[in-house]
């Protein structure tokens, strides 16, 4: 991806500087770079619905319902609050720093041929009550076809709860089928990401040839904002959480969590880091085994603060790049979606890309802008996964204190 980023951006910037009006640049962009980039994006978009549905359903089913009242309630409350803080930090930084502001008006042209998800129609009644009612679709398939992702998320959560409560052979087979749908979707995503260097090259060439040197500035500022937000959440929010709600020293907590943090950074996968996190929780942090297994297993898919922060920053950043104004209500909607989607974001490298594409489509932000961040996404993915896994351990410390049981 980095090679594709460098080549695409370099050639695009050169074309912008020395041959901006040349016919061959327009021909190459319109008949090669744009089609290749759009095909790559469409391959990602087509997986949004099956991946989001299957991941959310399985995420709910994997909860131990016998512990749901006690452990699950504490974990869910913690996850919602801390994820909301994470997204709020990211959105605030983007609004204050403005990493995507000041891009030339040529950037607006990038979205002219963008393949977007169809956004849901705005409700005729914009009252809070109407918005809440709109979360529950009368036709789930229609909601998916119309791009009403909040309704799809609500349906998936309800469906997952019903599936978890139904103890029949048919329900067990249905769960296996949904597991297969998830596995196939992830397999296809891995295959699509193998094409990422070519897709990134095409998208970056298109962006570079139209944006020029503005491109380098906005990408650099974007990376700075994401890293600053992740650092604030890691060392301020988690330190306060561990100290105030876990009754532990933040320094000792981070020292004990080093193995899981290094594993998360190197693999960029919450799922791959789960064994190391369990080892840290049971042997270093001395947490009760049933607490650590429940919280960390569920948290690897459901408590992804770093991913939520990253998604919020990316959506608002691209809105600034393309001069798409987002009202306060729309930004609140981004916060809500990022919290809910965190439950269904796959704990694998680049698992947040389909979710970001979905949010961009809902807000009518040109999804072609994903090409701006794909080249640096691998490094940022490693950083946000480290935050995700550390957040799971902080959540386990919080829940374990409420249990008041010694480690076993």
pLDDT at residue 365, rounded to an integer: 85
pLDDT in tens, 196-211: 788 878 877 877 787 6
Does residue 87 surpass a pLDDT of 70?
A: yes
> Strand ranges (DSSP E) for 178-293?
none
Does residue 314 surpass a pLDDT of 70?
A: yes
Per-residue pLDDT band for 115 (boundaries 50, 70, 90) equals: very low
What's the CA gap between 178 and 170, in Å, rounded? Answer: 12
Other CB atoms within 10 A of residue 273 CB: 28
| Domain extent listing, the chain | 2-403
CA dihedral 247, 249, 255, 260 (to 10 degrees): 20
Contact 367/41 with Cβ under 8 angstroms?
Answer: yes
What's the CA gap between 234 and 384, in Å, rounded? Answer: 10
What's the CA gap between 301 and 105, in Å, rounded? Answer: 39
Which region among 105-119, 137-151, 214-228, 349-363 has the lowest average model confidence (pLDDT)?
105-119
Sign of the alpha-carbon dihedral angle for 318, 302, 74, 69: positive
pLDDT in tens, 218-243: 888 999 999 999 999 999 999 999 99
Per-residue pLDDT band for 406 (boundaries 50, 70, 90) equals: very low
DSSP secondary structure code for residue 117 in this structure: P
Of 116 and 133, which is predicted with more confidence? 133
What's the CA gap between 330 and 116, in Å, rounded? Answer: 18
Cα Rg for the chain, rounded, in angstroms?
21
pLDDT at residue 230, rounded to an integer: 95
Does residue 345 surpass a pLDDT of 70?
A: no
Residues of the chain with pLDDT > 70, as a percent, come to 80
What's the CA gap between 68 and 90, in Å, rounded? Answer: 30
How many C-alpha atoms does 73 have within 13 Å on its Cβ side? 6
Mean residue pLDDT of the chain comes to 79
Of 260 and 405, which is predicted with more confidence? 260
What's the CA gap between 351 and 59, in Å, rounded? Answer: 14
The per-type count for the chain, helices as H runs and strands as E runs, is 20, 0
Sign of the alpha-carbon dihedral angle for 134, 85, 351, 199: positive
What's the CA gap between 384 and 308, in Å, rounded? Answer: 9
Name residues whose C-beta falls within 8 Å of residue 302's C-beta, 6 or more positions apart in sequence.
59, 79, 342, 343
Closest CA to 54 of 189, 167, 146, 168: 189
Per-residue pLDDT band for 125 (boundaries 50, 70, 90) equals: very low
Place of tokens 């989001």: 52
What's the CA gap between 302 and 39, in Å, rounded? Answer: 30
pLDDT at residue 369, rounded to an integer: 78
Choose the most confident range, by mean pLDDT, from 36-45, 94-103, 228-237, 332-341: 228-237
Helix axes 149-165, 48-61, angle to 10 degrees: 40
Contact 309/229 with Cβ under 8 angstroms?
Answer: yes
What's the CA gap between 80 and 342, in Å, rounded? Answer: 10
Helix axes 196-211, 34-45, angle to 10 degrees: 130
What's the CA gap between 2 and 354, in Å, rounded? Answer: 20
Per-residue pLDDT band for 156 (boundaries 50, 70, 90) equals: confident
H helices of 73-213, in order, are 73-97, 128-134, 140-145, 149-165, 169-194, 196-211
What's the CA gap between 177 and 343, in Å, rounded? Answer: 20
pLDDT at residue 124, rounded to an integer: 45
pLDDT in tens, 48-74: 788 778 877 886 776 655 555 566 678
Closest CA to 370 of 17, 111, 119, 105: 111
Record the pTM: 0.70
pLDDT at residue 118, rounded to an integer: 44
Domain 2-403 in CATH 1.10.3860:
yes
Per-residue pLDDT band for 112 (boundaries 50, 70, 90) equals: very low
pLDDT at residue 161, rounded to an integer: 84
DSSP secondary structure code for residue 242 in this structure: I
Does residue 407 surpass a pLDDT of 70?
A: no
């Amino acid at each position: 991806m980095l090679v594709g980023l460098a080549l695409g951006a370099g050639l695009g910037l050169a074309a912008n500087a020395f041959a901006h009006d040349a016919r061959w640049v327009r021909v190459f962009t319109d008949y090669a770079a744009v089609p290749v980039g759009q095909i790559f994006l469409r391959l990602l978009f087509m997986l949004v619905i099956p991946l989001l549905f299957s991941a959310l359903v399985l995420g709910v089913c994997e909860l131990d319902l016998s512990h749901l009242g006690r452990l699950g309630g504490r974990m869910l409350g913690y996850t919602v609050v801390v994820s909301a803080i994470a997204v709020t930090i990211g959105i605030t930084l983007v609004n204050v720093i403005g990493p995507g502001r000041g891009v030339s008006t040529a950037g607006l042209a990038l979205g002219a041929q963008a393949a977007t998800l169809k956004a849901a129609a705005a409700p005729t009644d914009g009252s809070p009550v109407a918005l809440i009612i709109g979360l529950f679709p009368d036709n789930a398939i229609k909601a998916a076809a119309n791009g009403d992702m909040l309704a799809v998320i609500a349906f998936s959560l309800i469906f997952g709860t019903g599936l978890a409560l139904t103890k029949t052979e048919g329900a067990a087979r249905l769960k296996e089928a949904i597991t297969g749908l998830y596995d196939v979707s992830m397999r296809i995503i891995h295959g699509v990401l193998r094409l990422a260097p070519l897709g990134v090259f095409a998208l970056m060439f298109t962006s570079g040839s139209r944006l020029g040197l503005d491109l380098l500035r906005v990408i650099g500022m974007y990376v700075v904002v994401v890293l600053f937000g992740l650092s604030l959440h890691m060392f301020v929010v988690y330190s306060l959480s561990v100290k105030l709600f876990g009754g532990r020293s933040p320094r000792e907590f981070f020292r004990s969590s080093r193995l899981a943090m290094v594993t998360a950074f190197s693999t960029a996968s919450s799922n791959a880091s789960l064994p190391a996190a369990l080892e840290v929780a049971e042997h270093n942090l001395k947490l009760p085994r049933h607490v650590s297994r429940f919280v960390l297993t569920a948290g690897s898919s459901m408590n992804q603060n770093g991913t939520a922060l990253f998604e919020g920053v990316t959506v608002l950043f691209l809105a600034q790049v393309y001069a798409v104004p987002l009202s306060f209500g729309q930004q609140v909607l981004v916060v809500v979606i990022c919290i809910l989607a965190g439950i269904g974001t796959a704990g694998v490298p680049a698992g947040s890309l389909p979710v970001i594409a979905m949010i961009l489509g809902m807000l009518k932000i040109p999804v072609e802008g994903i090409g701006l961040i794909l080249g640096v996404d691998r490094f940022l993915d490693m950083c946000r996964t480290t935050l995700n896994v550390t957040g799971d351990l902080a959540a386990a410390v919080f829940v374990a204190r409420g249990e008041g049981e010694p480690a076993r």
